[in-house]
Amino acid sequence: MGVVHLTFDDGPDPEWTPRVIEELERVRARATFFVVAERVARYPEPVRTALAAGHGVELHCMRHLVHPFHWRATIATDTREALEVLAGVGVHPTYWRPPGGARASWSEALAASHGLRLIRWSADGFDWRGDPAETMVARIAPDLEPGAVVLMHDAVGPGAPRPDCSGTVALIEPLVRLARERGLEPALLGRGPSLSGFEPDPASAARPRRSTPSSAARPRRRASPAAEVTVVEEDEIPDRDRIALRELISSGFPRAAGAYGPEGWRTIRPAFRSLCQLAGEPVGQLSIFELQTDPPTRLHGLGDGVVAEAQRGAGAGRAIFWAAVEECWRRGAEIILTDTVALKPMLLSWGFEPVPRFAFHYEREGACRWHRHWIAAFRDRPPPDRLRLAEGDF
């Protein structure tokens, strides 16, 4: 006989979790509850009842924070607090289902640091909508196969339109009956054959570390034996080099070439630049901007990074970025922000992390704007959940 895994999120609820447990007992089925720890702190008895009845209790969250919308440090704190609460009622989770099943690029690494395994689901009746039990069974039926992980909820949960969980209680008996008709027995997670819903998030291959002035392994500073990387104040760039830099930047960004003035910048004047020179000629550059924010924060933005075509692949881009990051920390930056696709894997390995949606934002033409490729590093504490930039196009 195969197995299926019945799972419940968002509890415990003082009324509905006991009724779910009673129905599971009536049909002689075992399930796994992914609990919200701040609710466990208020309602510990349903958790103790679930454990005594032989059900599994695993981690959902402390507060219902969706990972991609928050900084790693925020979720790390939330997770640590949740595990402390769960330990207080005798629960030591093995599995972790983040709110909404959503993962950030760092979620898998954070889970591994606590010995947890991320899990999603493979069958969903959307019980949070409040549909009749027969509608939900029909919705689950095509995915009810050996190893299936079925998602349900034993609390109303944030944003759910249904008034209560009576539909979920009513769903249990026909769902278990259908599973047994197919030769499948409800079992705890970790029992039976390999589980569905465990495939790793492709983005989690890059596991960022927190970046501080001394935390990352130092890459080499030279792009090639004859190339020199230096940091130069904007006011100290000679006119001859400034003309060459404008041409270099325009060649790297041909679609925006007309937006660069004779001094080689568009919307914000750089404070300084990281330059790579070969035989006295600039072959790579990165502009560093001191950005104004609300609330006030020492934020440095990195932009207009470009390397001459003949020097690409020789380490010039890596060298100028590292020199810029080093200098930003030396000058007291609290946050470093950049928008890059090509160098994103490298910067993630240095401790940068993706900026949650609209965590940093700016206004233009009456609209609130955010760049989906923004990544940031912070010195020694997480940035605020919301930070307004006076200008974000740099």
* Cα–Cα separations (whole angstroms), residue 220 to 41, 63, 212, 316, 322: 50, 42, 18, 10, 9
Contacts of 70 (CB under 8 A, 6+ apart): 356, 359, 385
Report residue 304 as tokens. 């207009």
Measured between alpha carbons, how far is 275 from 234 in angstroms, rounded to an integer?
11
Closest CA to 262 of 247, 275, 284, 277: 247
* Cα–Cα separations (whole angstroms), residue 175 to 5, 7, 123, 285, 336: 11, 12, 12, 62, 51
Measured between alpha carbons, how far is 121 from 329 in angstroms, rounded to an integer?
42
* Residue 239 a catalytic site member: no
Residue 107 DSSP label: H
CA angle in degrees (0–180, nearest 5) for 335-341-342: 110
Is 351:208 a contact under the CB 8 Å cutoff? yes
**H/E stretch holding 110:** helix 107-113
Contacts of 17 (CB under 8 A, 6+ apart): 8, 11, 33, 43, 46, 49, 50, 154, 155
* Catalytic hit among 9, 10, 78, 154: 9
Report residue 280 as tokens. 């006295």
What is the per-residue DSSP string for 310-342?
A: GGTTTTHHHHHHHHHHHHHHHTT-SEEEEE-ST
* Catalytic hit among 153, 154, 300, 304: 153
User: Cβ-count burial of 225 within 10 angstroms (0-12 exposed, 13-18 middle, 19+ buried)?
Assistant: exposed
User: Beta partners for 36?
Assistant: 61
User: Cβ-count burial of 194 within 10 angstroms (0-12 exposed, 13-18 middle, 19+ buried)?
Assistant: exposed
Report residue 28 as tokens. 């002689």
* Residue 9 a catalytic site member: yes
What is the arrangement of strands in the sheet containing 367-369, beginning at the earlier edge strand? 293-294, 387-389, 360-364, 367-369
Measured between alpha carbons, how far is 321 from 206 in angstroms, rounded to an integer?
18
Report, as residue numbers or ranges, the catalytic residues. 9, 153
